[in-house]
Structure 1
Amino acid sequence: MPTEEIQSATDAGKIWETALGELECSLNRPNFRTWYARTTGLGFEDGRFIIGVPNSFVAEYLEQNQRSLIAKTLIKLTGRDNLQLGFKVTAGGKTGAVRPAPGDTSARSEGCRFNPRYDFDAFIVGNANRLAHAAALSAAQKPGEGYNPLFIHGSSGLGKTHLLQAIGQTAERAGKTVRYVSGEQFTSEFVSAIRERRGDEFRERYRNVDLLLLDDVQFLAGKSQTEESFFHTFNELHNSGKQIVLSADSPPKAIAQLEDRLRSRFEWGLTAEISPPDEKMRLSILRSRAEQAGAELTPDVLDYMASEVIRNIRELEGNLNRVLAYSRLLRSAVTPDLARRALKNLAAEPVENKPETGPELLLDTVAACFEITPEDLLGRRRDKEIATARQVAMYVLKSQNLWSLGEIGRLVGDRTAATVSHSCDKIGRELEFNPLLKRKLIDIENRLGGK
């Protein structure tokens, strides 16, 4: 993409959102969340694409360890082979939460800096998040009176941070004192307070609020002193009728190394899951985001993009940004064919000279791992084991990014594209908490890798 087309922060931000969707597919979740969660695209300076980072530590890590991957991703998106990168420390990072400097009492006030885009009006509600949205709205409008604590969990990029910030902004407008913080920031501030002997000030900051919003609470697990501090903070706020809202990538019972006394308290109120969006919800999100971007997309384009199985909303929005950028570059209207061409390179590039794995081999391998026959796999029997194997087969075929949902349906015994979509979504959700299924997938991958 020519430099003049991405001079503005808006264009750079959209490009970086698209890049994040691709980078998330290339990295494991903890690594992505740690190094990329609060980054943003700032614009161009002296011919370099500038990436905003929350602190110099992140800048140094990305510069030394991720530069090649980032450059490759941005070159693919922009078409600029000589693209250069730069990193700049910004005040708030992507989330808008600001880490206060020692001695800065104004920055430690209870008011938070939120991303104005993360409000309830911009949150698309569907079957995947209806309970979480309703509970969040209740907590924002009547803090401490209903679900307390409210514990929202789900995979990365599904809207947990959006809901927490929407709660905070709604409560602040009603005159409530709010503190929004990530688990990482809470830990960092606690360690600094202990080192600088500001324990009383730290306790006052977190206990003298109407609402405490803690994002990625799983970050506290295994840090005994931090858990101890939060345990007492939780008790103080809860006993005072103050609202507590927590988010994590898994339910309390599934957070490893979390103290049992914290786990039990997290389950006192309401636990609400956010699941990956189904096709209907993906369509609503795409339509809303396209309207916000001022783009008019035809129903067939939206249907095509929504039919693709997407793991999270960030990836979905990245796909939309990529299609719109591709359209601007070619000065062409967005059609299903153009969208298909724009998105065809999003899949992980195959290893050079590695032969493609045919569908028959994939299906035979899945059948062998589940100890059933290929005929059973493609047939109409609905035994639990066979049905699960069939859904896994669809998931594995989809992960190859070689066939459409309709083609996968025909390969697996003439199933519909809707059945394939549902099956892939179901397996994707179960992999988050089912270690047996995860081992089965690893076994399939290992067998395929040896053939």
Structure 2
Amino acid sequence: MNSIGKQVLNALKNEISELDYTRYIKQLQFNEEESKSNLAIFSAPNALIANWIRTKFADKIAHLFEVNTNIKPTVLINVLSSTITPSVTTAPTIPAERAITSLLNPSYTFQNFVVGGSNNFAYIAAKNVSEKPGVVYNPLFIYGGVGLGKTHLMQAVGNVMLSQGKTVIYTSVEQFLNDFSRHLSNRTMDRFKDKYRKCDLLLIDDIQFLSGKNQIQEEFFHTFEALRNENKQIIITSDKKPKQIGGLEERLKSRFEWGLVADIQPPELETKIEIIKKKCEINRVKLDREVINYVATIIENNTREIEGILSKLNAYSQLMGVDITIEFARNVLKEQMAEKRSNITIDLIMETVAKELNVKTSEIRSKSRNSNIVYARRIAIYLSRSLTPNSMPQLAQYFGMKDHTAVSHTMKKIQELMKNDEDFKIKVEELSNKVSMDTSE
């Protein structure tokens, strides 16, 4: 008889493409011995496949378990011949059971976190907390958009403390709620309190989902108080700062601000490039500088996209037996970009260019010869010709130019600059993809 894990993977086969199933899901192994009703553990052959499955299919897998068992478990994807504890040479041996219950991703370390202007403050704060837990910044509240590194920083602290033999609990609000409901139904609330109130570090993701849930807010308040009174460290993440979370009790908002509130902003282009380099190094994917720069310009603010793009490029490269060149990358990702660009207009391009280059749209369409405005105008014309179906005569009319030859001259000038100036080329591609992102929002 097939284990529940195999049944779930077989069911998943009917919900995804045959290519995705063969390339990724078929390579998963279910760990029946260590899995529990609320924890499904799988092993993947390498980090790239593991990360791809976590990003794309973990939610589907959890849902299918719930359909079959009425319990939605946390899905853990490990790498074969790899432990769940972080690879730290000075760390003592940690019992496997403790490591598993922490549910930490071993690749989420400070060494693997790329620091830039957009996340430096949160990084320093988390590093300080890892060195003096319960002493500085308690709680540490990290907020920012999806895929910017909040969970990575949170778990990096957890991995440091786990390597020191500390008890670490990582959970989402959903899992906290599920645990609470189960223990309440089973009349085992003492066990619930022992778990969450006697750890050395509590990491709780997406606290905004406490909104409107009064009973669980009450329980979390008491958990928070118990831990902080014992000088145990608490780290919380959210998509917004405490004051902006609606449906949250004022006493919780005020306590979340007792320690330190740190934000993470969308990464600048240079940081995106460094993140891609680091991901390539970790996952052993070979990309040259031109491809790395291209990928940096097409990803949105969510840096988790990088994992999916690298996995896609690497898989296609292996299947076709070719190297990943810039032409290859553009071809593989063209559908992804075409979908983003389907609703682009000249007005949208103008608004994006004006905003990013700090000029007015009226100035771009004016006769001004100011160097900054000429620079913006040329880029706007180039993007309008590249991203919209408008003809050169139509563009000449829109931009108030003499005729289509002026547009042609501008196109040649931009193409020449892009060929000879790598930084300029990256800037134009970044603007091109910002336009594309605006259409998908």
Aligned-partner SS, 2:102: coil
1:85-131 C-alpha deviation (Å, 9 max, x unpaired): xxx987743599x9xxxxxxx98999523222222222222222212
The match for 1:313 is: 303
The match for 2:66 is: 57
The match for 1:8 is: 27
Q: 1:60 to 1:204 in 2, by over 3 A?
A: closer
Q: 1:251 to 1:179 in 2, by over 3 A?
A: same
The match for 1:114 is: 104
In 1, Cα distance between equivalents of 2:223 and 2:21: 50
| CA apart distance, 1:138 | 1.7
Q: 1:259 to 1:419 in 2, by over 3 A?
A: farther
In 2, Cα distance between equivalents of 1:95 and 1:219: 27
| CA apart distance, 1:176 | 1.9
In 1, Cα distance between equivalents of 2:251 and 2:234: 16
Instruction: Answer whether contact 1:301 1:335 (CA < 8 A) is retained.
Output: yes
Matched, 1:93 2:83: no
What root-mean-square deviation, in Å, do the aligned CA atoms of Structure 1 and Structure 2 show? 4.7
Q: 1:120 to 1:349 in 2, by over 3 A?
A: same
Aligned-partner SS, 2:170: strand
**Residue segments in structure 2 that go unaligned for 5+ positions in a row:** 1-18, 29-43, 85-95, 354-358, 390-409
Matched, 1:188 2:186: no
| CA apart distance, 1:20 | 7.8
Matched, 1:240 2:230: yes
Matched, 1:339 2:323: no
Instruction: Answer whether contact 2:171 2:204 (CA < 8 A) is retained.
Output: yes
Instruction: Answer whether contact 1:217 1:246 (CA < 8 A) is retained.
Output: yes
In 2, Cα distance between equivalents of 1:279 and 1:58: 42
Choose which of 309, 322, 346 in structure 2 pairs with 1:360. Answer: 346
Instruction: Answer whether contact 1:54 1:91 (CA < 8 A) is retained.
Output: no
1:374-422 C-alpha deviation (Å, 9 max, x unpaired): 53465699xxxxx9xx9xx99xx89x9779xx99xx7xxx996638848
The match for 2:158 is: 168
One-letter amino acid matched to 1:342? V
In 2, Cα distance between equivalents of 1:60 and 1:346: 36
1:27-66 superposed matches below 5 A: 38-39=58-59, 52-53=61-62, 56-57=65-66
| CA apart distance, 1:238 | 1.4
Q: 1:290 to 1:380 in 2, by over 3 A?
A: farther
The match for 2:210 is: 220
Q: 1:54 to 1:141 in 2, by over 3 A?
A: farther
1:258-299 C-alpha deviation (Å, 9 max, x unpaired): 111101111111111122222111111111221223233221
One-letter amino acid matched to 1:151? F
Q: 1:422 to 1:204 in 2, by over 3 A?
A: farther
TM-score normalized by the length of structure 1: 0.63
The match for 1:77 is: none
One-letter amino acid matched to 2:76? G
1:9-34 C-alpha deviation (Å, 9 max, x unpaired): 4479746855887x7xxxxxxxxxxx
| CA apart distance, 1:156 | 1.7
The match for 2:314 is: 324
The match for 1:64 is: none
| CA apart distance, 1:170 | 0.9
The match for 2:427 is: 418
Matched, 1:229 2:216: no
In 2, Cα distance between equivalents of 1:170 and 1:373: 49
Aligned-partner SS, 1:122: coil
One-letter amino acid matched to 1:93? L
Aligned-partner SS, 1:53: helix
Instruction: Answer whether contact 1:52 1:93 (CA < 8 A) is retained.
Output: no
Instruction: Answer whether contact 1:20 1:318 (CA < 8 A) is retained.
Output: no
Instruction: Answer whether contact 2:142 2:150 (CA < 8 A) is retained.
Output: yes
In 1, Cα distance between equivalents of 2:150 and 2:316: 30
In 2, Cα distance between equivalents of 1:129 and 1:17: 22
1:143-182 superposed matches below 5 A: 143-182=133-172
| CA apart distance, 1:319 | 1.2
In 2, Cα distance between equivalents of 1:60 and 1:349: 37
In 2, Cα distance between equivalents of 1:426 and 1:240: 50
| CA apart distance, 1:320 | 1.6
One-letter amino acid matched to 2:345? P
Instruction: Answer whether contact 1:53 1:93 (CA < 8 A) is retained.
Output: no
Instruction: Answer whether contact 2:154 2:203 (CA < 8 A) is retained.
Output: yes
1:266-305 superposed matches below 5 A: 266-305=256-295
TM-score normalized by the length of structure 2: 0.65
Instruction: Answer whether contact 1:279 1:307 (CA < 8 A) is retained.
Output: yes
Instruction: Answer whether contact 2:138 2:228 (CA < 8 A) is retained.
Output: yes
Q: 1:242 to 1:126 in 2, by over 3 A?
A: same
One-letter amino acid matched to 1:205? K
| CA apart distance, 1:188 | 1.4
Percentage of identical aligned residues? 34
| CA apart distance, 1:349 | 3.8
